[in-house]
Amino acid sequence: MRLLEVLVVFSSLSFFSYGIAYFTSSKMKSEFIRFGLSKFGTLTAILEILGALGLLVGLIFNYFLVVSSGGLALMMLLGVAARLRVKDGFLAILPALFFLGINAYIFFESIKTFLD
């Protein structure tokens, strides 16, 4: 399995888990309240789950990989901004930066394939 495929599967499983966790964990909901984004929690969780599914479908149909990885990278960029806004420390911001990097990499690699 190539690096790109490993990252796609890893990111997909992670976002699927985070999306489901919103509906099963009060801690996840309290984080959105802390960020001042409580009305966007459900939407974010649904987008995470759809993005995770899109990444997996994207292993077969590259268009979905481009859209899903781009969307998830954008979501993580906004996540970094939200954490900076509430003055979270570097260690709290690190997971969002990590998934921003992974999905940006997937996005740019899938764009290359899409344009070939």
Nearest CA-CA partner of 99 in 53, 61, 62, 51: 51
Cβ-count burial 27-50 (b if 16+ within 10 Å, e if not): ebbebbeebebeeebeebbebbbb
Q: What is the pLDDT of residues 45-79, one digit of tens each?
A: 999 999 999 999 999 999 999 999 999 999 999 99
Percent of the chain exceeding pLDDT 90 equals 96
Domain ranges of the chain: 3-115
What is the per-residue pLDDT across 71-105, written as a single tens digit (0 to 9) for each? 999 999 999 999 999 999 999 999 999 999 999 99
Q: Is the pLDDT of residue 114 over 90?
A: no
Q: What is the pLDDT of residue 62?
A: 96
pLDDT at 24 over 90: yes
Residue 14: which pLDDT band, with cuts at 50, 70 and 90? very high
pLDDT score, position 100: 98
- The predicted pLDDT at position 2 comes to 94
